[in-house]
Structure 1
Amino acid sequence: MSSYTASKSLYKSVFGAIALGLSVTSLSFNVQANGQITDQVNHLKDHLSEYSEEVSWLEEKYDGLVTRYEAKGTEAVDTQELINYWEEVNFHSAIETQYIPLYATIWQHIYGIKTGIENGDDAKKVRQHQRELTQTFWQALGAVKLAAHYQDKGVIDKIKTTDKAPTSAPEIITDIEKRLDKVVAKYAEQLTEVATTMVHDTYMERFEGIEGALIEQDASLVEALEKDFNVTLPQAIENGKSVDEVRSIVDTMKKKLDNAQSLLEKAEQNRKDVF
């Protein structure tokens, strides 16, 4: 299977994310569960063969573990290995820093396998999660190859370990959307408290800063987003909703934020035209 071919259908969405400069901020360094991100993420092209080998290794490991479960049952499997495999490879941080939605999907399927085995689910159901995980690994490798190409061309900034705060209202909206993607990723990792804290911090540190300007454009939109930040999303996380349900809430919020961004951009342009 060609990993690059597997990613072609993701070209537009992946490039859109990359073009926005999806770098790791100080926030993501603080909440990371698997240790430091090394400088290899700033030299993706030099590590592509390594990443390809790691994806093949991961495919083999997860397939072998599920095969063992099919043959011998729950007692024959240490489900902690599922997490250890993923956290062991450098490819882990490569996809985390370049395309966070796929990173979240990987964790979602890892825990799908883990929970299925621990609950003694039908092996066919567990195997389906494993197949989807493998497919996501190859899609993620395609995304990293694409990122490596644009990094080599200088389109993507190097990963920074400090958080440069956005200055304009539209930039703040973009930053909020990136943070919400990270909320889904951390929730998929089953870091519930981290995800909840990120929602709260995003509201306090980012959204509150643009509320005044946005109220002038659409007060009802501000009210709807306030409810999403303070009630809908945190309650879904705290009540243990599925990753897909949490992702759906975030997707709905991002549509509202896109609307907010358009309103703020128009307001900014109108101010420039006046002066």
Structure 2
Amino acid sequence: MNVISKKCVHLLKSLVVCSALFTISAQANGPVGDHVNHLSKHLPAYEKEVHWLIEKVDGIVSRYHKDGAKAAHADAVVEHWEAVKFHAAIETNYVLVYASIWQGLFAVKESIDKGLPINDVRKEQTKLTQALWQGLGAVKMAATLQDKGLLAQIQTREGAPTNSIEALDTINTRLNRVVAKYAEKLIDTSVKMVAETYLNLFEGVEGELIALDANLVEDLEKDFNVTLPKAIKSHASVEDVRQIVATMTNKVNRASTLIKNNANNKKDVF
């Protein structure tokens, strides 16, 4: 395993801490296992799975080099990833790397399917390997924070928010998961997640927000109903979709601050 620089470790810590600021809900494609709430206990298993994945991918690439694309069975790259518990551990703790892993998986698969030179395939394999190790590093950091009580309990079943602040936190979580699902090339799922997040969550808080900043509400309505779904349906790059989501989450954070400040002002009055 490559040594991660202090700068990278600091970045990992910052990003994992950010995820601790809100409760993470279940995956869009089903409930996660309870192992995600006991990361330290499962770290040895996760690490074995990463080694296993790297070996499996290397075997696929090696078969491609020796016997060609048909013998390589490139589809197995994705199947192997979906079979491991580490899949859920990284998705619930570091969705940015989760998306990068999916990009790497498809990059290896598609480079084989296209019959690219082995050196090009190996380059994509190296990027995927780096993303897997980065993901494991993030999960280890999350395990440390979890042991110290600094990470919120991960919901292994979908739960409804109980107030506007929780709803906005959940919106940000789901928007980040849209990026992850888009990286998986699940276009219809991504579009559906955007629509459901708007209908089931944002519409529930927009009435309160309109009184505080009507322009912000209008901007987010356009983002949910036009900008983001249009980018997904037009097959924009993952980075472009990520940037749109980043802009949206900044707006959602502004909305959360407005609601918190408004609540505090009401307390001061009384």
Indicate whether the TM-score tops 0.5.
yes
Q: Which residue pairs with 1:167 in the alignment?
A: 162
Q: Which residue pairs with 2:184 in the alignment?
A: 189
| Equivalent of residue 144 in structure 1, options 115, 139, 148 | 139
Q: Which residue pairs with 2:260 in the alignment?
A: 265
Query: Shift of the alpha carbon at 1:129?
Result: 2.3
Query: Shift of the alpha carbon at 1:207?
Result: 0.8
Query: Shift of the alpha carbon at 1:164?
Result: 3.0
**1:97, 1:127 → 2: CA distance?**
29
- Is the Cα–Cα contact under 8 Å of residues 217 and 263 in structure 1 kept in the other structure? yes
Q: Which residue pairs with 1:78 in the alignment?
A: 73
- Is the Cα–Cα contact under 8 Å of residues 3 and 142 in structure 1 kept in the other structure? no
Q: Which residue pairs with 1:117 in the alignment?
A: 112
Q: Which residue pairs with 1:31 in the alignment?
A: 29
Query: Shift of the alpha carbon at 1:126?
Result: 2.8
SS at match of 2:157: coil
Query: Shift of the alpha carbon at 1:210?
Result: 1.5
1:25-64 superposed matches below 5 A? 25=26, 28=27, 31-32=29-30, 37-64=32-59
Q: Which residue pairs with 2:20 in the alignment?
A: 18
Q: Which residue pairs with 1:226 in the alignment?
A: 221
**1:189, 1:212 → 2: CA distance?**
34
Alignment partner of 1:250 is 2:250: no
Of 172-181 and 98-107, more deviation after overlay is shown by 98-107
**2:32, 2:110 → 1: CA distance?**
27
Q: Partner letter of residue 242 of structure 2?
A: R
**2:89, 2:36 → 1: CA distance?**
5
Query: Shift of the alpha carbon at 1:44?
Result: 1.6
Give 5+ residue unaligned stretches, structure 1: none
Aligned CA distance change for structure 1 residues 172 and 82 (closer, same or farther; 3 Å): same
Q: Which residue pairs with 2:203 in the alignment?
A: 208
Residues 61-117 of structure 1: per-residue CA shift (max 9 Å, x gap) = 223322333444423321111012212222112212222222122112111211222
Alignment partner of 1:178 is 2:173: yes
- Is the Cα–Cα contact under 8 Å of residues 198 and 224 in structure 2 kept in the other structure? yes
Query: Shift of the alpha carbon at 1:8?
Result: 4.2
Q: Partner letter of residue 15 of structure 1?
A: V
Query: Shift of the alpha carbon at 1:241?
Result: 1.9
Alignment RMSD: 2.2
Q: Partner letter of residue 219 of structure 1?
A: A
- Is the Cα–Cα contact under 8 Å of residues 116 and 125 in structure 1 kept in the other structure? yes
**1:54, 1:144 → 2: CA distance?**
13
Identity of aligned residues (%): 46
Q: Partner letter of residue 259 of structure 2?
A: L
**1:214, 1:3 → 2: CA distance?**
46
Q: Partner letter of residue 31 of structure 1?
A: N
Of 149-158 and 182-191, more deviation after overlay is shown by 149-158
**2:21, 2:254 → 1: CA distance?**
20
- Is the Cα–Cα contact under 8 Å of residues 7 and 139 in structure 1 kept in the other structure? no
Q: Partner letter of residue 194 of structure 1?
A: T
TM-score normalised according to structure 1 size = 0.88
Figure out how many residues of one structure are paired with residues of the other and give that number.
268
- Is the Cα–Cα contact under 8 Å of residues 20 and 152 in structure 2 kept in the other structure? no
Query: Shift of the alpha carbon at 1:151?
Result: 2.4
**2:34, 2:165 → 1: CA distance?**
30
Q: Partner letter of residue 23 of structure 2?
A: G
